[in-house]
A and B are shown apart, each in its own frame.
Chain A
Amino acid sequence: MTEIFLKAGFVLYAAAAFFIAIPPGVLKRGSEKLTQALLSSGFAFHTCAIAFRWHAAGRPPFASMYESLVLFSWAIIAVYFAFTFLYRASILRVPGLILALCLMTAALFGDSAVKPLVPALQSRWIGIHVITYFIGYGALSLAFMLGVLYIVSKRRAAGTEQLRSLDVLMYRLVIFGFPFLTVGMTTGSAWADAAWGTYWGWDPKETCSLITWLVYIVYLHMRILCGWKDTRAAWLCIFGFLATLFTFIGVNFILPGLHSYQ
């Protein structure tokens, strides 16, 4: 059931991306509404896929790589919708769809078997720890995409209102995502204390998550206090997300520790 709903979501997102890719003027006026409808229904299916998985597994479906990828892509689209609602920031649609489709492709090719949870993962903390982290990741990955866009289009659009808005949106995405990162990190610490009796053990995943968090701390201080609103801020956003990605995936494969449960 999960697979079917996930594939349906994927197809609807892809269809939305297809309509966005068509140059303006080719289609009639209704296409904007159609795109939005495709995206919304894709998100509904995506949400149902997670709900069904939750029900079928009898536990929060946030344990395996497959489940993380499904949740990560869901969080990206969720943040997109939040920002559309708050700021009508339709520019996030393209980077959001690119990221979500990439992650979902990886998920659909991955091992989707429902694996039982090892004792350490059976905790009431898993829900809040993982969901908050991935919503944070969703916002920060969009900020990363905007950072890249900022740097790429800097020469052509230097000094324009568009470039300024890009920076503002990037800043707002970090502002939105960072508190989620903080809740994720501190609940993770509380969980570690409940499971192992150490609220901080300098496990590679913990250390990397702290470094990631500090990179965004630097970004926020520079942006708010020192007025970094240019390429430097964009580079920090890019660097921050690369650190995030390393924390999320890199650590599992390169640095063994308490978080590599397989």
Chain B
Amino acid sequence: MRIAFVLLWIIITVSFAGALLPTEKQPLVYSSVWFFCLLGLFALNLLVCTVDRILFNRKKVASILTHASVLIILSGALVSALFGFRGSIELSEGQRADSFMTDRGVRALPFFITLEDFSLEWYETAQKGYPVRVRVEDRGFSGQYRAQPGVEYPLGETGYSFTVVDYLPHFVFDRENRAVSRSGQPLNPALLVRIKGPALSEERWIFANHPDIEMGDDLNIRFRFDLQPQIKEYRSRVRVDDPGRRISFSRDIKVNAPLEYRGYSVYQSRYDSEQLSWTGLDVVYDPGVKIVFLGFILMNSGIIGILYPKLRPRGPGKNSNI
């Protein structure tokens, strides 16, 4: 309302000033873009004021908005239920798919998807040394260490000491029965420790995933390898080929970062620790999502619009008596 009056006064002043100008210069004012904008603003303001006054007040708008948003969310859910579907694709590196499995059988995709590479990222867990627990049975000694490779750790007054000699992230025996790492992934972390004791010295493998397997001569001294490697990210690098549209691109699919293309969303879902060149992807087609999210936005605005005006303190110290 106040803006309308301000605009009105500006228009009046400008029109009067224009009228004072010589006739041939008057179009400079009356036909100018800014004068039209001024009139347009005034018209808009008037429209808003009128609609506001005649049709509804702000409270009603917020209430209508909120309750309508519930209907919008529900209709979005209905659209999801009726027209949406989800399924999965399993791909090995280099393999290409143009369809996916759903509960009701195979469905075609409007594009090809090829797995270029699957990889795991791990949190760096052994940054401050390898976490090792040691117990010397007959002396009742126990200790925890963050062992650095090559450093000798004496175990109190027991006469024992140990040194980490080697670390294999993915321990396996090869054909010649040698301990090797099958991959760089910490899928079976193993530590080789050299033990010096009062009677004898030996080297022994200890396994993070298999604490019960501990082969050694002197089992008076027992080790635990407490490494718990944690996966940081699963990443499927895929190529999308859409011959119909002559589009082709590569993208990384990660948890929380799906591939979105032509209404389809492709999510990182599963992996196989035994076969790291394989990935399990979920495919979702859901035209209801956008409707639901629109409903969410309206609902949040509506609820804030209804409730927050009620929070305005009425006069200072309204509740100072409690």
Contacts and interface: CB of A to CB of B under 8 A. Distances in A.
Interface string A164-196: 011011001001101100110010011101111
B173 interface: no
A24 interface: no
Nearest to B296: A186
A172 B258 contact: no
Contacts of A123: 256
Contact of A118 (B230, B310, B319): B230
A248 interface: no
Contact of B311 (A86, A165, A182, A189): A86
Contacts of A198: 86, 284
A207 to B, nearest CB: 15
Given A88-B317, A168-B319, A197-B267, A119 B258 contact: no
Contact of A165 (B230, B256, B319): B319
Contacts of B322: 89-91, 162, 165-166, 169
B296 A116 contact: no
Given A87-B318, A195-B256, A119 B231 contact: yes
B154 to A, nearest CB: 28
Interface string B148-173: 00000000000000000000000000
B319 A169 contact: yes
A120 interface: yes
Interface stretch (B103-111, B208-216, B300-308): B300-308
A116 B319 contact: no
B299 A186 contact: yes
A172 B254 contact: no
Given A87-B313, A178-B307, A179-B308, A195 B255 contact: yes
A132 B267 CA distance: 27
Interface string B276-291: 0000001010100100
Interface string A144-176: 000000000000000001100110110010011
A199 interface: yes
Contacts of A193: 289
A178 B231 contact: no
Contact of A175 (B77, B256, B307): B307
B308 A89 contact: no
B300 A183 contact: yes
A260 interface: no
Contacts of A182: 299-300, 303
Of B265, B304, B319, B321, chain A has the most CB atoms within 10 Å of the CB of: B319
A197 B258 contact: yes
Contact of B267 (A87, A116, A196): A196
A86 to B, nearest CB: 6
B137 interface: no
B320 interface: yes
A169 B310 CA distance: 12
A105 interface: no
B232 interface: yes
B5 interface: no
A254 B71 CA distance: 33
A166 B293 CA distance: 37
A64 to B, nearest CB: 13
A89 B322 CA distance: 7
Given A87-B319, A119-B255, A197 B286 contact: yes
A122 B255 contact: yes
Nearest to A171: B310
B282 A197 contact: yes
Given A89-B319, A182-B300, A197 B284 contact: yes
Given A183-B300, A186-B296, A194 B319 contact: no
Nearest to A164: B322
B232 A172 contact: no
B261 interface: no
B233 interface: yes
Contacts of A176: 307, 311
B282 A179 contact: no
A144 B303 CA distance: 21
Interface in A61-102: 86-91
Contact of B300 (A89, A186, A196, A197): A186
Contact of B303 (A116, A118, A122, A178): A178
Interface in B102-141: 123
A74 B64 CA distance: 35
Nearest to A177: B307
Interface string B78-115: 00000000100000000000000000000000000000
A182 B267 CA distance: 26
B292 interface: yes
Of A87, A172, A200, chain B has the most CB atoms within 10 Å of the CB of: A87
Contacts of A199: 289, 292-293
A193 B76 CA distance: 14
A198 B286 CA distance: 9
Given A88-B318, A162-B321, A165-B322, 7 more contacts: A90-B320, A119-B232, A123-B256, A172-B311, A176-B307, A190-B296, A195-B255
Interface of B: 77, 86, 123, 230-234, 254-258, 265, 267-268, 282, 284, 286, 289, 292-293, 296, 299-300, 303-304, 307-308, 310-311, 313, 317-322
